[in-house]
Amino acid sequence: MDDLITLRSKYPCNPIISYINVNSLRGSKFDHIREMCRVAPIDLLCVDETKLTPDFPDAQFQLIGYKNPPLRRDRVVKAASTRSFGGGKLVFVREGQIVKRLQDYEAATAESICIELATSIRKWFITFA
């Protein structure tokens, strides 16, 4: 954690972007994410393999200090593959960050979330796929 705080002070205009593969948020793993975001200066947290479907409400995944609702791309479960619970993406954006989701750049057949993040000195194009 101290390394992230040092990086933040050394490069205050650059975002801190983190990635984690949770292999399902269906259990108690969200509590660990909540704690991580509470103590670390993370601007964007990209969570992979959430295994969420649209029947999980956004309210279930609120983080203090982060925009609500988080950006989501749930796995679409087709009738022929109802046993498939893989995939899914979730992006938490710290309050105060200027982001715009760019859905026109997201692939129709692959899970991806595209974001424009504006900082005080530049714009970042981020693809989480």
Cβ within 8 Å of residue 17, ≥6 positions away: 42, 43, 44, 45, 46, 126
Q: What would the pLDDT profile of 78-87 be if each residue is shown by its tens digit?
A: 655 556 567 8
pLDDT of res. 78: 65
Question: How sure is the predictor about 37, in pLDDT bands with cuts at 50, 70 and 90?
Answer: very high
Residue-level pLDDT at 89? 96
Assess whether pLDDT exceeds 80 at residue 55: yes
CB 87 within 8 A of CB 111: yes
Task: Write out pLDDT tens, residues 74-129.
Answer: 987 665 555 656 789 999 999 999 999 999 999 988 899 999 999 989 999 999 99
Q: 4 pLDDT band (50/70/90 cuts)?
A: confident
